[in-house]
Amino acid sequence: MSVPARALELDPAMQAAPPADNVRRQLARRLADAICLPASKLTPQERHMAGDVLVELLRSAEPDIREAVAKRLVMLNEAPRTILVILAKDEIHIARHVLENSRSLTDSDMIQIARKVKMEHRIMMAQRRNLSDAVVDVLVEFMEEDVVETLLKNKGSNLSDTAIQRILVTSRSHQPYVELLAKRDELRPSHGLTMYWWADATNRKRILARFAVTRHVLQESTGDLYPLAAEEGWQDSGVRKALQFIERRQRNRVALERSPYESLEQAIESISVSGLTRATTEEISYMAGIKPATGAQILTDKGGQPIAIFCKAPGLRREYLEMLWLGLGRRTQTAEGRIDPDYNRVIETYDTISTDKAQTVLRYWNWSLTASLSPEVLEYIQKGVIPREEDFGAAAITAALVFSHRR
């Protein structure tokens, strides 16, 4: 016999039934508990089935239920990744439990999450203890300042050359990146000595302290190759450029013999009287063992510290540094009679760097700025585009970054 509808409405058992939300809450908790059971009590198949059911339940669950599940599952080393990925993309107060603490997420999961979430999620991802270079590459793609700075501060993040290159380009207009990059173990000399050109005074000092090194091992291991290269007439341009970088002698004897000046010192004396011209820039550059393009970059630098390196490398005494500085139209004293701050930094650089280390920096700049200036690279520079390192090499990247930058 059928039960009248009215009887259902008045049924005390039905009136006392818990709300649907309460049942959902209890079910979600129990499913999460079941998933967290040890392997001895739950088969992998049943664990995955429970996970599939829980996924569907969470899609329409209240935020506090989703957060409770997130807190529960992150304690499990082998939690169902599908659920974790969904929760990691959730509202930040829910996602943070997974993004901060879950060990079950793979690099593939992290990459997928990074591409689908907001910046606040990526900041949290950037704080994780261990981040592979593949995940870091994706986080850096967005070039969000807070995310990038968090990654650079995180010692557990691994930066690939690709990530460093992206950040290096942006560092030209964002000085905080320079300081943070200068502290990273992954930074190579090509990165640091390139970044020097747009670094502030403090970071320039830090970069020189790290990358101004001697070349004793290189010089000893290649010393016997110079006579052989000379016998061949220096026909191999690659060999010539590489050995010029390693060479001990800084001043160019051939340029000195061809110059109208008796010495590099006499040329600088002339500049202190008549000022710098394009012709004298070329003369002192060649005599100092570098190309005019490198010399022009050094002599026009606003900070002035590269000029100290230019003078120290070929063994010029400090008085010639002052002559060159004045010949460039720059002052050594302020209107109040104090030493000019820029000149003071130049003197400090000159006094603290050894001749050998100054030669390393000057030769590296010359090699990196001029060794790859092919028509193709020059076209990139004119367009303000950075070429790919795998296509043109590190020197081409340096030339493009430096010559296309305007401080």
Residues 162 and 230 in one domain: no
For the segment 311-330, what is each residue's pLDDT rounded down to a tens digit? 999 999 999 999 999 999 99
Considering 49, 71, 103, which residue would you say is the last residue of a domain? 103
211 falls within a domain:
no
Structural contact between residues 157 and 136, judged by C-beta atoms closer than 8 angstroms? yes
* 248-255 own/partner pairs: CB under 8 Å, 24+ apart: 248/219, 248/359, 249/289, 250/288, 250/289, 250/313, 250/314, 250/315, 250/359, 250/362, 250/363, 251/287, 251/288, 251/289, 251/314, 251/315, 252/286, 252/287, 252/288, 252/289, 255/283, 255/286, 255/287, 255/289
C-alpha dihedral sign at 322, 296, 212, 288: negative
Assigned token pair, 149 = 């700075």
Give the number of other Cβ atoms within 10 Å of residue 101's Cβ: 14
Assigned token pair, 390 = 């795998």
pLDDT of residue 7: 36
Residues 333 and 257 in one domain: yes
3-state secondary structure 10-72: HCHHHHCCCCHHHHHHHHHHHHHHHHCCCCCCCCHHHHHHHHHHHHHHHCCCCHHHHHHHHHH
200 falls within a domain:
no
Residues 40 and 128 in one domain: no
Integer-rounded Cα Rg, in Å, for the chain is 32
194 falls within a domain:
no
Residues 277 and 374 in one domain: yes
88 falls within a domain:
yes
CA distance 310 to 361: 9
Considering 135, 162, 184, which residue would you say is the last residue of a domain? 184
Q: What is the pTM of this model?
A: 0.80
Assigned token pair, 40 = 């001895």
pLDDT of residue 258: 93
For the segment 51-92, what is each residue's pLDDT rounded down to a tens digit? 778 878 787 788 888 898 888 888 777 778 888 999 999 999
For the segment 325-354, what is each residue's pLDDT rounded down to a tens digit? 999 999 999 989 999 999 999 999 999 999
Residues 96 and 120 in one domain: no
Residues 119 and 244 in one domain: no
Structural contact between residues 81 and 105, judged by C-beta atoms closer than 8 angstroms? yes
Q: Domain span at residue 277?
A: 216-403
Residues 280 and 320 in one domain: yes
Top-confidence residue, 234 or 76: 234
109 falls within a domain:
no
Considering 184, 203, 232, which residue would you say is the last residue of a domain? 184
Residues 262 and 372 in one domain: yes
Q: What angle do CA 352, 310, 381 make, to 5 degrees?
A: 120
Residues 224 and 373 in one domain: yes
Does residue 2 surpass a pLDDT of 50? no
Residues 98 and 119 in one domain: no
108 falls within a domain:
no
Residues 161 and 229 in one domain: no
CA distance 80 to 82: 6
Residues 87 and 149 in one domain: no
The helix, strand and coil proportions of the chain, stated in percent and rounded to the nearest 5, come to 65, 0, 30
Structural domain count of the chain = 3
pLDDT of residue 20: 55
388 falls within a domain:
yes
CA distance 389 to 340: 40
For the segment 374-396, what is each residue's pLDDT rounded down to a tens digit? 788 788 778 777 777 777 777 78
82 falls within a domain:
yes
